[in-house]
Amino acid sequence: MKLSIIVLASGNSKRFNGNKLLHKIDKKPMYLHTVDKLINLKKKNKNVDEVIFITKYEKIIDKLKDKDIKVIKNNNSEFGISQSIKLGVSNSSNNVYMFIVCDQPYIKEDTIGRFIDKFIESGKNLGCVSNNGVLLNPTIFTDKYRDDLYSLRGDKGGKKIILKHLDDLFIFEVLDKKEVIDIDFKNQLEDK
């Protein structure tokens, strides 16, 4: 089973007060922490076929030209995360889609790889990372839910679909809460 990793990076960063994806963590922009891990993972993990990066930011698009990823410009980010999801699915070469947000700079490459491998072993059609019983990102969908992904509207993501089909869900518990933190505010960063 081959999958596409779809990186969602078209948000407005309103709560962060500036483009958080360009904010440097350990002298490296936040988005590159995610991108570099995923490119490495693609080289090592036979289940990862491609990495698709969805963004509206020209500055990031320019920086990713020489990377081994497919970059798709989101010209309609005002329609919310559902627009990025649809762009990712429609540009995928595969029937399995892992969605990861670009503002989780602390998630480990090994964690992502184990999530993918264990999901495939599970035989389920939905996968979700969890911490302390809370469903978080990243998530995985097979094409069984492709039409459901296309029917999403506004700023509603795939959790809506997952919650309707808990019997078809593989849950991957991540013990370190820091790994699955979505950065929304500057005070969540270690290098404040």
pLDDT bracket for residue 191 (50, 70, 90): very low
Is residue 16 pLDDT above 60, yes or no?
A: no
Give me the pLDDT at residue 123, please. Answer: 97
Instruction: Render pLDDT for 49-71 as a digit per residue (tens, 0 to 9).
Output: 999 999 999 999 999 999 999 99
Distance of CA 159 to the CA centre of its chain: 13
Residue 10 has pLDDT above 90, yes or no: no
Mean pLDDT of 144-173: 95
Q: Is the pTM of this model over 0.85?
A: yes
Q: What is the pLDDT of residue 186?
A: 52
pLDDT above 70 as % of the chain? 90
- Give the H or E element holding residue 44: helix 30-44
- The more confidently predicted of residues 75 and 21 is 75
145 neighbors 125 (Cβ within 8 angstroms): yes
Does residue 185 carry a pLDDT above 80? no
What is the Cβ-side half-sphere exposure of residue 181, based on CA atoms within 13 angstroms?
15
> In this predicted structure, what is the pLDDT of residue 188?
53
Quick check: 138 pLDDT over 70?
yes
* Cβ–Cβ < 8 Å for 137, 182: yes
pLDDT band at 11 (very low <50, low <70, confident <90, very high): low
Q: Which residues of 12-30 are buried (b: 16+ CB within 10 A; e: fewer)?
A: ebeebeebbbebebeeebb
Q: Tell me the domains of the chain and their CATH numbers.
A: 3-188 (3.90.550.10)
Q: 190 pLDDT exceeds 60?
A: no
- pLDDT, residue 76, reads 87
- The predicted model gives 40-56 an average pLDDT of 96
